Structure formats: C-alpha cells, structure tokens
C-alpha cells in the first residue's frame, strides 16, 4: 500500500469492520481518493466521505455506540453524519441524484451498486472509490487515467451529468483550474448549450462555488472558462461586460483581462480576491472616449454600488458585502495622493480604510498590471513611501486608535448639551481637526470647540 494511503486506512478501518460485521460494504469516495492519488495536491478539508449499500437507518444503527456524535439531518437524502474524536464522517447510501426540470431540489433514489453510484458523480476524477478495509481501487470510468492524461470528463454523457446537477458546470471550471486539466470538448459544448440551466440552482450554492473558484492557485483559469462558455451570464453578467478595451484608440488591455490578472496577483484572502474581482466592475458604465483618450470617472463609486447589488443577489453575508464594497470604493484613493504625503492625507487615508487598511494596500499594489517596468516601480515606490509614513505616524500618534481629543461627556459638559445630534456633530468637528492637525490636547481642543459652537450659533 502506498504510504499516502495509510492515514485513510487508519481513519476508517474500525468503521469498515463494523459495516462488514453487519453484512454491508463501505467505500471511501470522491475527493479523498482523488487527492490521495494525485501527487503534490493538498487534500481539501479533513472530513471523510463514504458510501455504502446500507440504508440510512441501517447506517445510523451501525455507527451509534461507536461514534461520539451522530446527526441525521441529511437522512432523507441518504446521508448520516458522525464524529469520532476529531474525525468527521459523512456516510451516504449508494444513490442517483437528479434535478427535475425547473426544480432546485434533488430527487434521490437509493441503490445497491457502487458503479451506478459512481456514474452519477460529477467527473471521472471524482468517480473513484476505495473499498474498505482492503483498499481496493474501484475506477470504472478511468478517472485515474484522466488524472494522468490531464483530462476533465464526466462519467456519463456531460448533458446527463449537468442535467442531474447544473452546478457541475461551475465545478468544471474549478477542477480544471485546480488540477490543470483540459476540459473534454464534449464537456465544453454541453456547458455552452446548457448554461441556462444554472438558473434552477440556488444563489447560495452558486455563491459557495464562486468562493471556491477564486481560492484556487490561479483563479483566472477558472474565471476565463466561466466567461467564455456563458456561465457568467447566468450569475455574474458584470464579468463578461468588462471584456472591452480600456482605450480603443491605443488598444490598451481590456478591463476583463486586467481584472483577472489582478485576482491572480492577490494572496489567498477570500474577501480580497472578491474585491479584486469587482474592483473595476463600474468601468463599462462610466467609460467616456474623448480626443484625449478614455476615462472612467467615478467608476469606483459606481462599481461599489454594483458590487453591493450583485453580492446581495448571491446571498453573501452582510459583513462580506460591506467589506468588499468598501474596498472597491477605496481602491483608487491611493492615487489621489501622488503629489505628496502630508500628515493630514495619511491620517484620513488610515481613518477611511479602517480595519481594511492592509487589505486595501495589497489590492492597490496588485492593481498595477502594467508591463512598463518604470511605471510599476514608481507605483511600488509611492506605496512603500505611504506605508512608511503610516508606520511613522502610528508610532507617534497611535493611528489605529485615533479619536478626537475630547469624548462625548466632555463635549456635553463644555457646551452644556444633552445627548443628541449636536454632540455627534461636535465630535465630527473635533475628529476632522484630529485628522488635519494631529493631537491638539484637551485645552486647545476645548478652545476650538467653543469657537466652532459660537460660529455655528451665529450662522
């Protein structure tokens, strides 16, 4: 037995013997088998997916008394989950799962044949099983050969596979990118004919798959597949809309190619990569061509609004939406300071970026995809200068905890106010002073506050 299979055997041997004692077969399936067979690939997740000819109630009976916890929420779909120590097992009765027309819910039938079960899986590289505990490889659709040859195929006709679950068309993009596989021509043609079927898949499932796509090592490989084969039209139409030349006169690179290059440059931070994906989404709506060339005035503002609408449609949590929208909104802010870095400008930049400062700086760096080495060096030098100034001011002024020199209670005492809107306006005034001039001290801040309040009363 190859040594890389040893952890799988150790984790499943006792469970497999319990199934054998009950007269049932048990197989390790899917990604666990694929990743064990594919050298150099890190395993996705730490759970164990298994399939068996036992029915859900029989599975539950076998694992109770052995597992520390058992859950049965997926029983109607054939799945019983359990935990033993730190290991989690999802055990599913052999099944065929298909979508009925215009329905988002799978229709499940149970079976007894491992080959039939594997035939209903998404791709041949995932239609692999190891019979337990003897670890015999079951590979009826030559998934191992496809891994070796760099092919991505479906076990059955791709139209049958995608009709069973249309999300598999998006999964094809991810697996092709993750394993550097070439999609089979028949698979590509099926996607081009059937991408409209993605409309029956819930927004939540599409969102989760998009998140997985952007987290592969080179997301652009998957995203180009999504755009070129019509999938983006169904859930992210803003993406193909960016396939326009930034400057048709001088034929500069198109916005889409630039966007995907930026995504590839970012580190594996999900929200950063989403921000990179959306950062120029407002350009098509703001493009103006003049004698001087092309402009995209306020595309960051328009893009932020578009990003919010699309992410909410994909059912992203509000915290994710707010973070990505803010990064899109601020991604050009750095370029407004190209004439110099005053303390005031640095403080305002830090205040506006808030907890997203480091992420925003990385997005700004990655946004430079020019082949002009001198231009790229100049941008990097300006960003280095900005980060150095931020570090200096942090040391001097505790920028991360920047507050007005007076708090709300002091403001109310000095001005004789009760809690209300005027206190907030006074605090905003003091905060602007803090940003523009740095720490003033309580005495000077109180003097300025009284003067501001007097002018306000006269107005």
Express each pLDDT in 245-294 by its tens digit.
554 444 445 889 999 999 999 999 999 999 999 999 998 877 766 666 66
Q: Is residue 247 part of a domain?
A: no
Average pLDDT over residues 6-18: 89
DSSP at 75: G
**Structure confidence at residue 250 (pLDDT):** 41
Number of domains in the chain: 4
Q: pLDDT higher for 139 or 338? A: 139
**Structure confidence at residue 43 (pLDDT):** 56
* Shared domain check, 143 and 13: yes
Beta carbons of 196 and 144 less than 8 angstroms apart: no
**Structure confidence at residue 146 (pLDDT):** 95
Out of 148, 172, 195, pick the residue that ends a domain.
148
Of 303-312, 377-386, 416-425, which range is least confident? Answer: 377-386
Q: Other CB atoms closer than 10 Å to residue 61's CB: what's the count? A: 13
Q: From CA 233, how far away is CA 226, in angstroms rounded?
A: 9
- Is residue 70 classed as helix, strand or coil in its secondary structure? strand
Average pLDDT over residues 376-382: 82
* Shared domain check, 8 and 130: yes
Q: pLDDT tens digits, residue range 118-133?
A: 999 999 999 999 999 8
Q: Is 368 exposed, middle or buried (0-12, 13-18, 19+ CB in 10 A)?
A: middle
Chain Cα centroid distance, residue 392: 33
Strands 69-71 and 151-152: unpaired
Strand partners, 294: 289
DSSP at 294: E
Q: From CA 9, how far away is CA 207, in angstroms rounded?
A: 34
* Shared domain check, 132 and 7: yes
* Shared domain check, 414 and 349: no
Beta carbons of 277 and 207 less than 8 angstroms apart: no
* Shared domain check, 129 and 20: yes
CA neighbours closer than 13 Å in the CB half-sphere of residue 421: 0
How many residues does this entry show for the chain?
459
Helix or strand run (H / E) with residue 313: helix 299-313
Max mean pLDDT range (9-18, 32-41, 149-158): 149-158
Q: Is residue 246 part of a domain?
A: no
Mean pLDDT rounded to a whole number for the chain: 87
Residue 259 structure tokens: 């966007």
Q: From CA 15, how far away is CA 85, in angstroms rounded?
A: 13
Residue written as tokens 């290059």?
261
Please, which pLDDT band fits residue 234 given cuts at 50, 70 and 90? very high
Cβ-Cβ contacts under 8 Å for 180 (sequence gap 6 or more)? 150, 221
* Shared domain check, 163 and 123: no
* Shared domain check, 75 and 108: yes
Q: Is residue 415 part of a domain?
A: yes
Strands 288-290 and 293-295: antiparallel
Residue 91 structure tokens: 């055990």
Backbone angles phi, psi at 361, to 5 degrees: -65, -40
Cβ-Cβ contacts under 8 Å for 21 (sequence gap 6 or more)? none
Q: pLDDT higher for 416 or 324? A: 324
Beta carbons of 60 and 40 less than 8 angstroms apart: no
Q: Is residue 241 part of a domain?
A: no
Q: Is residue 30 part of a domain?
A: yes
Its pTM stands at 0.81
* Shared domain check, 133 and 88: yes
Average pLDDT over residues 235-244: 90
Q: Other CB atoms closer than 10 Å to residue 402's CB: what's the count? A: 17
* Shared domain check, 230 and 304: no
Q: From CA 278, how far away is CA 274, in angstroms rounded?
A: 6
Domain encompassing residue 62: 3-148
* Shared domain check, 157 and 119: no
Q: What whole-number percentage of the chain has pLDDT above 70?
A: 87
Q: Where are the alpha helices (DSSP H) in 29-157?
A: 31-37, 56-63, 114-119, 143-149
Q: pLDDT tens digits, residue range 21-36?
A: 999 999 999 888 888 7
Q: pLDDT higher for 421 or 319? A: 319
Question: Given a cut of 50, is residue 195 above it in pLDDT?
Answer: yes
């Amino acid at each position: 037995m190859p040594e890389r299979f040893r952890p799988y055997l150790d984790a499943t041997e006792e469970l497999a013997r319990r199934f054998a004692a009950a007269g049932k077969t048990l197989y390790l399936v899917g990604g666990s088998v694929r990743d064990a067979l594919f050298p150099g690939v890190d395993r996705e997740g730490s759970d164990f997916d298994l399939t068996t000819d036992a029915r859900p109630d029989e599975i539950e009976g076998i694992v109770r008394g052995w597992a520390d916890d058992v859950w049965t929420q997926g029983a109607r779909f054939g799945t019983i989950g359990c935990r033993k120590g730190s290991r989690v097992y999802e055990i599913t009765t052999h099944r065929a799962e298909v979508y009925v027309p215009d329905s988002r819910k799978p229709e499940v039938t149970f079976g007894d044949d491992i080959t039939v079960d594997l035939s209903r899986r998404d791709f041949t590289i995932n239609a692999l099983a190891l019979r337990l505990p003897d670890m015999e490889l079951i590979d009826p659709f030559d998934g191992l050969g496809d891994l070796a040859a760099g092919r991505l195929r479906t076990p059955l006709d791709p139209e049958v596979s995608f009709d069973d679950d249309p999300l598999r068309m998006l999964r094809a993009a991810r697996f092709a990118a993750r394993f550097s596989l070439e999609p089979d021509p028949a698979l590509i043609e099926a996607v081009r004919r059937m991408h409209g079927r993605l409309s029956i898949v819930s927004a939540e499932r599409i969102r989760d798959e998009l998140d997985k796509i952007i987290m592969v090592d080179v997301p652009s490989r998957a995203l180009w597949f999504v755009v070129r084969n019509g999938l983006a039209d169904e859930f992210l139409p803003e993406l193909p809309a960016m396939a326009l030349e930034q400057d048709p006169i001088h034929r500069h690179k198109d916005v889409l190619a630039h966007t995907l290059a930026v995504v590839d440059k970012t580190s594996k931070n999900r929200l950063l990569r989403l921000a990179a994906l959306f950062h120029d989404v407002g350009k098509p709506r703001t493009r103006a061509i003049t004698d001087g060339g092309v402009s995209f005035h306020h595309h960051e503002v328009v893009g932020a609004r578009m990003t919010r609408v699309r992410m909410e449609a994909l059912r992203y949590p509000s915290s994710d939406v707010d973070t990505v929208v803010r990064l899109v909104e601020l991604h050009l802010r750095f370029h407004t300071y190209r004439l110099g870095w005053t303390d005031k400008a640095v403080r305002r930049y830090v205040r506006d970026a808030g907890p997203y400062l480091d992420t925003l700086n990385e997005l700004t760096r990655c946004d430079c995809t020019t082949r002009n080495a001198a231009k790229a060096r100049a941008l990097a030098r300006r960003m280095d200068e900005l980060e150095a100034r931020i570090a200096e001011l942090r040391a001097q002024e505790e920028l991360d905890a920047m507050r007005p020199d007076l708090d709300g209670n002091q403001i109310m005492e000095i001005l004789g106010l009760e809690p209300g809107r005027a206190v907030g306006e006074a605090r905003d005034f003091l905060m602007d002073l803090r940003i523009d001039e740095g720490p003033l001290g309580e005495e000077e801040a109180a003097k300025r506050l009284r003067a501001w309040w007097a002018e306000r009363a006269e107005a």
